[in-house]
Amino acid sequence: MRIADMLARSKPSVSFEFMAPRDESEVETLERTIAALAGHAPDWVSVTYRVRTGEKTLELVTRIKRHYHIEAMAHLTCANTADRTRQILNWMEREGVANVLALRGDAPTAGEPFIPADPQLAHGSDLIALVRRSGYRFGIGAACSTEKHPESPDVEHEFRYMRLKVESGADFLITQLFFDNKHYFDLVARAREAGIKVPIVPGLMPVPSRRSLAVMTAMSGATVPAGLQAAIDAAPNDDAIRAVGVRHCISQCAELLEARVPGLHFYTFNRARAPMEILAALRGQQLLAS
Catalytic residue IDs: 17
- The whole-angstrom separation of Cα 218 and Cα 287 is 32
Burial of 118 (0-12, 13-18, 19+ CB in 10 A): middle
Determine the Cα–Cα distance for residues 248 and 242; give it in Å rounded to an integer.
10
Alpha helices (runs of H) in the chain, residue ranges in sequence order: 3-7, 27-38, 54-63, 82-94, 124-133, 155-168, 181-193, 210-220, 226-234, 238-258, 273-284
Residue-by-residue DSSP string for 107-121: -SSTTSPP--SSTT-
Q: Are 139 and 4 in contact (CB under 8 A)?
A: yes
